[in-house]
Structure formats: structure tokens, C-alpha cells
Amino acid sequence: MIGFVLFFAWLGFGGDYILALATSDAGPHAYHHVFPWLGIVLTLTAIITASYAYKTGPEKVLWSTGAREVIDPQTDGERQLVNVVEEMAIAAGVARPRIWIVPDDDPNAFATGHGPGDSHIAVTQGLLSICNRAELQAVIGHELGHVKNFDVRLMTTLAALVGAVLLVRDGMGRWMWGRGRVASKAEEGGKKGAGPLLAILLALWIISWVIAPLVTQLLALAVSRRREYLADDMSAQFTRNPLALASALEKIEGATAPTTSIKRGAAHLCIADPLGRHFTNHEGWLGDVFATHPPMGMRIAKLKGMGYAQLKKEGGSFTNSALA
């Protein structure tokens, strides 16, 4: 969050400083940039935009996926889902979230909302089709871990900030290239000797605007990857059955198609990358930078290690009954 604030401060007040340098040698009747209106306007615009996106974020995410709320369950699968959510909400010590089903055959799930008192859990139709009760409990436990840890509020805020950067960047781009003020002032300042420093700062500022969406998206992804491990641990704590989540993740990972109903803006909310798992399956620098989730193999191995340690402590052995 500090990174977002500092990045906005550079884009706004850095632009003010560049304009001040560019107009410092202007004539007595020319424009002199002395008041940091650009930084103030940019920051206020970003705050207002992010605030609106944050308040309406959960509804927009659910709407974008085509999810329908389960109010009166009609099928055995829907009734089991409602029962499991109610059970796991009690285990997690949170209020029962509203329940949604996404009409998509790819298995996936996500949570959204503003906290334990205002949360939503959505699962795809594909997840209901492939998971037994224990695996479904584990997946719901994972999502309730996000709810209990206020991850849903954090990730909604991060998504809103990413959207704010995109919106403000587009507006500033039209202002800069449409009127050409910054470039013309920089050129004028350069002729009068304000020169190398101004040219360097202007180049860095323009590059910052170009890469702003990428930088903010990478910051959001970095937070998302760390929170996934914590939610896995919370699921194991709630269910006392880490092997069930490991089995569910293996089934989810075995799905061949991406979750087409869930778009890029909500990808970091899901239990598994809905965009095809291309970068998620790579360990190392490539996966760390571009993946929405940590490598599935590492998550599964960690859960299996927890499960085997638990079975050994209890004096049992690993059998299929652990997943029943």
C-alpha cells in the first residue's frame, strides 16, 4: 500500500516539479508553475476513483462473472454447498457469507467483499461437479480464510487502485499529448539551460506513466501470492484435513481449460489462476513476477507435508479415507 502511495506521489508531485523547472526561466508575463495543483488533483482523483471502485467492487466482480446467488437451493449439489458454507463459517468464526454459483465448467472459487461482516463466496459449477464433500469443505475453508484475514478487503482495495491508475493514466495521456504543454515547456526550458536535469526527469516521468499499470498490477500480484499460502494454512486449520485441499487443488490443476467467466481484473481473487495457469506453473523469477498465484505444485506439496505429519503424529497411515 505504501508503494502505491509513493508511486502516485511521484506521478503527481513529480509532474509539478518538472513543470516548475520547465517554466522557471519563462518571461515575467508567461506561466510559472508554483502551486502543486497537478499532484493535488491527481491524488484526489485517484482517491475518489479508488473509493468508488472499492465500495462497488464486490458487486461488479460478481456481475462480471455472471454469478447467480443461491437463496433457495434446488439441487443436491446446491444444498450441499449451502450446508458446507454454513459449517465452515462456524468453524472459521465468521458470519455466513452470501453464496453464489458461476456458470462455468472449469473448477474454481473466489471470495469477495469488505470483511467478515460483508462477504461473498462464489464457486463454479465445475467445482461442484468434481469435488467430494471433504474437498469442497477445504476449498470453502480456503476462501473463508481470505474473509477472516480481511484479504477480501485488501484485494478489493488493490484492484481499485490498479483501476484508478489506469483511469488517471488515460486522462493524463490525453492531456499531455493533446495539448503538448509538458513537451513544449521542457523544450523551452532546455533552450534556456534548465536542461539535462529537466530532460532526465521528464523522460523518467513519461516512462512512469507508460509502465504505471504494469507496476501497480505487479504490486497487487505480489500481495496476492503471499495471501494464498496463508489461506491454504487457514483451510487446514478449519478442516483439520490439509490432504483434502491438496486433493481439490490437484483436481483444479488438472482442468484443461481456463475459467472463461472470470476476467483478468478478478483473477487474483480466485483459488487458482483462471487465466490458464501459464505463469503460475513456472517456479523462479518468471512465476514470481507475473503469476497471480504461487506455483500449484508448491502449494500441494506443502499441504501434503502437513497432512502426512498430522497422520504420523496420530499414528495412522495415508489412505483414501483421509479424503472421504
Contact in structure between 161 and 4 (CB atoms under 8 Å): yes
| Per annotation, catalytic residue among 69, 78, 86, 143 | 143
Q: Where are the alpha helices (DSSP H) in 25-180?
A: 37-65, 76-92, 125-130, 133-148, 151-179
Burial degree of 312 (CB within 10 A; 0-12, 13-18, 19+): exposed
SS3 (DSSP) at 69: strand
User: Residue 208: which residues within 8 A CB-CB, separation 6 or more?
Assistant: 7, 10, 11, 14, 215
Burial degree of 179 (CB within 10 A; 0-12, 13-18, 19+): exposed
Rg (CA), the chain: 24
Query: Phi/psi zone of residue 75: left (φ > 0), alpha (ψ -120 to 50 degrees), beta?
Result: beta
Q: Angle formed by the axes of helices 2-23 and 181-191, to 10°?
A: 50
Question: What cell numbers appear for 211 in the block?
Answer: 509502465
| Pairing of β 109-115 and β 98-102 | unpaired
The DSSP output letter for 270 is B
143 assigned to active site: yes
Residue type, 176: M
The whole-angstrom separation of Cα 263 and Cα 87 is 30
| Pairing of β 118-124 and β 109-115 | antiparallel
Sign for the pseudo-dihedral over CA of 230, 119, 221, 284: positive
Where in the sequence numbering do the catalytic residues fall?
143
